[in-house]
Amino acid sequence: MTYRRAVLPAIAGGLLFTALLWWAGASAHALHLPGATGMLDGQAAAELERWLAPWSYDPPASLQLGTEVSGGTGDAAGTAGANYLALYTTALQIRFGAVFAFFIPGTLLLVRRLPPVHGRMPAALLAVWAWGLVAGTLAVTVSAPWLIASGGHGSYRFLPQLASIISSGRQVLVVTALVAAAVTVSIARVAAKGTGPLPHEAVPARAARLAATTGTAVIALSLVVLSYQPVAAALQSVSPDIGLFAEPGDLLRQWLLLGAWAGPGGTPLGDWLLYRAGDVLLLAVVWWTLRRLPGLLTRATVPAMATGAVCATVLGLLASQLLRVAVDGAGSALHWDLLHLSATIGNGVPAALTCGLVAGSAAALTLRVAVGRADIADAAPSGQGSDRPEGL
């Protein structure tokens, strides 16, 4: 699929994604209306408001009070407060602009290399959905410095504040990105009509399995080794004294760790194994996706494999988190309990981006080497018929 045909679906999906996030943020104040409080209890309304607040132009009350105190008295206080509120507005403008800017290139690459035609439609939908979560997380990240500065204490524990802001607003992304992905792939499916049969590479099955195993090993390093609580605690406690960028431990944890786990301890072994099933599910999703990805792509390039691995890791995280919500929420009849349990949905996307890029690049290079060796073996008379190519 050419870039000319893929650009319209990407732009349409980006505009819709940005508009949905703006609408969600603009609806946050509705939770204070009498009708909303009558339908939802106070705890549920407060939780939903916390989810929507990172996308709302209405500054939190703490920001307004903080600017009044730090600005002094009289006209000086009013001027300082207006400047801080302007910084908050600028942060939100950057955030929404960055959502659109980050959504376009990833979606463009995915739609071009993974066009939503017959046999590829579900894969394209899931990939664009996962990329929407990544785009939203990156947008929150690049706008965070302005948001921190709007609080009037940007030089105090800057990196821990940055880590805290990056982890916010992810629950809304899960829903809005899914809607935007459905519209994007639907438009891309129409745009792909009349282009004729799209090419795909014939990948030896052994090479695909080896590449998937290599990529999954990178994800397992973060999920199993780095996410082990003693190791994670060592990462989080890193705090070199380098001024504004001191105490990077929280930020390292955000971008390197896909989870957190410890031994059974006082937990029954059966319950501990049930929770570890989520980690197994994550690795299974990543391996199976990387195993199928070379045959689904029109061309298994390093950027396409790296982006696909990021999306696979995000999807694996969502699958594992939904499994844990189902386990924790079994037998719970209260909508507040389920809403509270769903607060973990969307965690780990920064780490999925970091580890997914490395895993996808490693898988692509492994695939290239393995395919090259298979071609050499096929060229030799004794190696003919040793591997069967895998297509769609």
Element housing 204 (H / E): strand 203-204
Q: Residue 291's closest CA among 216, 380, 227?
A: 216
Q: Give pLDDT, residue 334.
A: 53
Give CA–CA dist 369/274, Å, rounded.
Answer: 38
Element housing 299 (H / E): none
Low-confidence ranges of the chain (pLDDT < 70): 37-38, 61-81, 154, 194-201, 331-337, 378, 380-392
Q: Give pLDDT, residue 194.
A: 67
User: What does DSSP say about strands 389-390 and 203-204: parallel, antiparallel, or unpaired?
Assistant: antiparallel
Tens digit of each residue's pLDDT (9 = 90 or more) over 186-230: 999 998 886 656 666 678 889 999 999 999 999 999 999 999 999
Instruction: Give the type of residue at 237.
Output: S
How far CA 158 is from CA of 140, 167, 243, in Å, comes to 15, 15, 9
Q: Are 257 and 226 in contact (CB under 8 A)?
A: yes
Q: Give pLDDT, residue 326.
A: 85
Element housing 229 (H / E): helix 229-236
Burial 45-68 (b: 16+ CB within 10 A, else e): bebbbebbbbbbeebeeebeebbe
| DSSP secondary structure letter of residue 228 | B
Tens digit of each residue's pLDDT (9 = 90 or more) over 48-85: 888 999 999 988 765 555 545 444 454 555 566 688 88
Question: What global pTM score does this model have?
Answer: 0.90
